[in-house]
Each structure stands twice: as structure tokens, then as C-alpha cells.
Chains A and B, each alone.
Chain A
Amino acid sequence: MLQAIQAPWPWYVAGALIGLIVPALLLLGNKHFGISANLRHVCAACFPAGIKFFQYNWKKEIWNFVFVGGIIIGAIIATQLMSNPDPVAIHPDLAKELATYNINDHSGMLPKELFSFESLFTLRGLIMLIGGGFLVGFGTRWAGGCTSGHSIMGLSNLQLPSLIATIMFMVGGFIMANLILPFILRL
């Protein structure tokens, strides 16, 4: 039992639980599943700067902040109490490829060579962390949602725009991973 909790959970368990978040939020209070809108609510709450896009009653969306607070707490619980003692399993081809960029640390879910404050002060880390974060914030809002809002909530509600957005998320992912990232990792 303990081992089943500690070992990484299979995709069908994770997928089913994530799918159930959609009806859970709807049934608990008619809330639509989405995360990226929180980034906008922070802007609306802290730096509206007279921009029309940020002029709305963000307090109505406080539930979304609380939801994200829960995600952080859940991650802490999973890391502290249910964590997998073994290193992350990685496809051998990926491990080989990453080794050519001096990324060999597989002890955590994020390679320390990239995700650390030291890395932040290298060109590679700067592009990946600051640039990547910026693209996530800018892109999700332009697209009107992220993987939660479009790919899960939007597709669950059979919205064609969400399908278009999801396809573009994947296109962007493939372009980055295969065509652009090798140059960045080489830096």
C-alpha cells in the first residue's frame, strides 16, 4: 500500500482524478476549471495601471486563488509525506541527449542544472526561466486559457476554440522541444 502511494501514479489514475476536478468545481459552486486566469487576477489586484483589461472585480475570483493555494499545499504534502525515494525514470534517449548539454541530475523532477538560482544568472537559465515564464503568461492570456481552461475544461464542454488552442499548444511544444530548445540548451 505504502509502495503504491510512493511510486509514481499511472496516467489513468492521474487523468481520471484531474478529469473529476471539472465536475467537482461545477458542483461545489458553478466554478469553471482554469488556472492561468489567476495570473490576470494578480495583475488586476496589484497592478491594474488603468488598463481596461485589468479593470474588473477580481474579488469575485478569490476562489481561484484559494484553489491555487490548495495546489501548493498538495504539492508540499506529496513531497514531504508521499515522495518517491527513487530518481525520476527518464527515457534513455532523452537522458543521452540531455547529457550532451551537461544535464545529468535526475534526482528531482526538475533538473538542478536548469532550475536553481545559480542557473538564473546564466544566459541559458535566464532564457528558460524568465523567458519561459513570460511566454506562459503572455501566451495563455492571449489564447484565453491554458491546459486547464482550454484543454480540459474547454474540451470537456466541446468548445471548438479550445480544440484550436490545444492543437496550437502542442504545435508550440513540438517546435520548442525539437527545433529551438537544442540551441538554448547548448548555451
Chain B
Amino acid sequence: MQTQQATPDTDFEVRSTDTICVNESQQQHPGWYNLKYLAVGVVFGIVFVKAEIISWFRIQEMFRLQSFHMYGVIGTAVVVGMISVWLIKKFKVKTIHGEEISFQKKKFSKGQIYGGLLFGLGWTLTGACPGPLFAQIGTGVYVVIVVVLSAIAGTWVYGYFREKLPH
């Protein structure tokens, strides 16, 4: 409760700027509760490697229309995700801690066009979107740490120039 008072009221507003994943939970749990997300991450990491989603070659094939693999992965994930979200909304399913599950509407911004385009260029160069970047490190290709640091730098530079960019 104390942290909530210390946090300025604009915190959520700033935190939810230009991002789609925001922690909206009002509940305070001990830190080790976060281990449940570690478990989900482990499954995700294994899938990334086993389905070769982190492969630079698979990304090249996708954008040369030489393979259906990545379209199949993303398409299936979207369908499963859509059905899940629909079910959660329809039956007003709560979290395992009894909290209501909330969704927010995303506002259109020109950033989705310009930024999306830039990310697409980078995705093909590195063969990885942000999730797979971390998985690539886990496979032992340590030079990708440099790629991640560069991505952090890119995010920082965006933050620095944010007010001057079209949104």
C-alpha cells in the first residue's frame, strides 16, 4: 500500500505510454510469486528453440515466401490467443488469485506505421524479434548480447526523441 502512495498518480499513464503489456494487477504479492512467470517463460523459451522460431534462416524464408512455417506459428498463436481472450471475456474468468482480468483499448498512433516499419527492417536483419533475441543468447550465441544492448540503446534513443517524433 505504501508504494502506491509514494508513486505519483501519473505513473500508470506514463507506464502505459507506447506499450501494450502493462502490469495492471493491484495485488501485492511477495517477490517469489513472480516465479510462476519464470515457468511460463521456460516453456516459451523451449518452444522458441524447438520450433526454430529463433532461426535467422526461418525469418529469411518467411520474407522470401519460401516457407509457411512462421506464418503457421504466428497464425495458430493468434487464433488460440483470440479464442482464449474471447472465453475469458465471455465467462468473466478471474485470475488464480481471484482478481478480475482487465483489457485496455489501444489507441492508434502513427508510431505503429513508422515504428512498425523500422522494427520489420530490424527483425529481418537480426532474424529475431525481442523474445527470440533473449532465446538466441540462451542457445549460446553470445554475440547476441551485443544486439540486445543495441536494442536497449535504440529504445533509449526513442525515449529521448519521443516528443519530436510523429505519433
Contact = CB atoms under 8 A, between A and B. Distances in A.
B52 A88 contact: yes
A43 B80 contact: no
Contact of A23 (B45, B68, B85, B142): B85
Contacts of A108: 139, 141
A99 interface: no
A168 B113 contact: yes
A123 interface: no
B21 A57 contact: no
B2 interface: no
Interface residues on A, range: 35 or more
B151 A136 contact: yes
B90 interface: no
Contact of B37 (A70, A76, A148): A70
B106 to A, nearest CB: 4
Contacts of B18: 53, 141-142, 144
Interface string B46-90: 111111111111111111101111111111111111101101100
Main secondary structure of the interface of A (DSSP, over half): helix
B40 A9 contact: no
Contacts, number: 564
A75 B125 contact: no
Contacts of B81: 19, 22-23, 33, 152-153, 155-156
Interface in B97-141: 97, 99-103, 105-109, 111-131, 133-141
A72 B134 contact: yes
B159 A43 contact: yes
A98 B15 CA distance: 42
Interface string A79-115: 1001100001011011000100000001011110011
A176 B62 CA distance: 12
B82 A90 contact: no
Contacts of B57: 88, 90, 94, 106, 109, 111
Given A31-B37, A35-B129, A143-B112, A152 B77 contact: yes
11 contacts: A22-B84, A27-B101, A29-B27, A31-B23, A51-B156, A53-B18, A73-B42, A117-B143, A149-B20, A170-B120, A178-B63
Closest 3 CB pairs of A and B: A172-B120, A70-B41, A74-B45
